[in-house]
Amino acid sequence: MLTLYDYLPSQNAWKVRVLLGLLGIAYETRIVSIFEGESRTEAFLKLNPAGAVPVLAVENGAAIAESNAILACVAEGTPYLPADRLTRAKAMQWLFFEQYYVEPVIGSLRFWSLTGRLERNQAMVAGKREAGARALGALERGLQDTPFLVGGSLTIADIAVYAYGHRAEDCGFSLADYPAVSAWIDRVSGTIGSGYPVHPYSIDPHSGG
Ligand SMILES: N[C@@H](CCC(=O)N[C@@H](CS)C(=O)NCC(=O)O)C(=O)O
């Protein structure tokens, strides 16, 4: 049985919950209380040297960290990760895009906004806002002529980029300025269905949210 080391308000972990759910793969959940330091214990650092969730423990005691690496591993051999070399590389393109332009930008700004940390990160906020607008602009251009990021159906690229992308309004971006992105958000949300809620930080008394 797979074990997902999870933290419910984490949209990185949300990506993994969605894919496992869409594929009907059973798994156990272990909640990691990241704000109480549980992701920095010796035992957890053995699972992920970077000390962050999500982590998926698989067979033989092996564990995979980094949300998009987990997605690629779980999606192997399914339509969510195209087999064709070029199409797969396009999916990878968006997965790497997400980790550079979206998650550390919109993900961080959103985290600071929702948990009262904007003030203490003030020096970085203007740069992140500019980078976030650049990311949404790139996404808008990338979605001009295609219903999903890689062709005609949902892949792990959509799941990854959507995770924080669709919550950009939580940290002050206006998605109405990005019509192709907005239409894609509706498409992705309609495809994955309503079974994967976004959990607010406020469910965790230690988050500051
Ligand atoms: N690039 C990583 C980022 C993972 C990450 O930042 N996880 C956060 C929660 S969203 C975390 O566990 N932070 C705990 C910590 O840094 O101590 C991924 O995509 O999985």
CB within 8 Å of 206: residues ≥ 6 apart: 33, 35, 36
Show the domain range for 22.
2-78
Q: In this structure, is residue 202 part of a structural domain?
A: no
Q: In this structure, is residue 201 part of a structural domain?
A: no
Same domain, 107 and 18: no
Same domain, 48 and 145: no
Same domain, 24 and 65: yes
Same domain, 125 and 155: yes
* Ligand 1 contact via 39 beta carbon (within 6 Å): yes
* Ligand 1 contact via 53 beta carbon (within 6 Å): yes
Q: Which pLDDT value is given to residue 168?
A: 98
Which CATH number covers residue 48?
Answer: 3.40.30.10
Same domain, 55 and 92: no
Atom of ligand 1 nearest to the CA of 50: 16
Q: Which pLDDT value is given to residue 189?
A: 98
Nearest CA to ligand 1 atom 15: 52
Per-residue pLDDT tens, the chain, 209 aa: give them.
999 999 999 999 999 999 999 999 999 999 999 999 999 999 999 999 999 999 999 988 899 999 999 999 999 999 999 999 999 999 999 999 999 999 999 999 999 999 999 999 999 999 999 999 999 999 999 999 999 999 999 999 999 999 999 999 999 999 999 999 999 999 999 999 999 999 999 999 999 98
Q: Print the SS3 string covering the chain.
A: CEEEEECCCCHHHHHHHHHHHHCCCCEEEEECCHHHCHHHCHHHHHHCCCCCCCEEECHHHCEEECHHHHHHHHHCCCCCCCCCHHHHHHHHHHHHHHHHHHHHHHHHHHHHHHCCCCHHHHHHHHHHHHHHHHHHHHHHHHCCCCCECCECCCCHHHHHHHHHHCCHHHHCCCHHHCHHHHHHHHHHHHHHCCCCCCCCHHHCCCCCC
Nearest CA to ligand 1 atom 5: 52
* Ligand 1 contact via 108 beta carbon (within 6 Å): no
Q: In this structure, is residue 199 part of a structural domain?
A: no
Query: Ligand 1: which of 30, 34, 68 to mutate, judged by most atoms within 8 Å of the beta carbon?
Result: 34
Which CATH number covers residue 157?
Answer: 1.20.1050.10
* Ligand 1 contact via 155 beta carbon (within 6 Å): no
Atom of ligand 1 nearest to the CA of 68: 19
Q: Which pLDDT value is given to residue 139?
A: 98
* Ligand 1 contact via 66 beta carbon (within 6 Å): yes
Q: Which pLDDT value is given to residue 46?
A: 96
Same domain, 63 and 95: no
Nearest CA to ligand 1 atom 11: 52
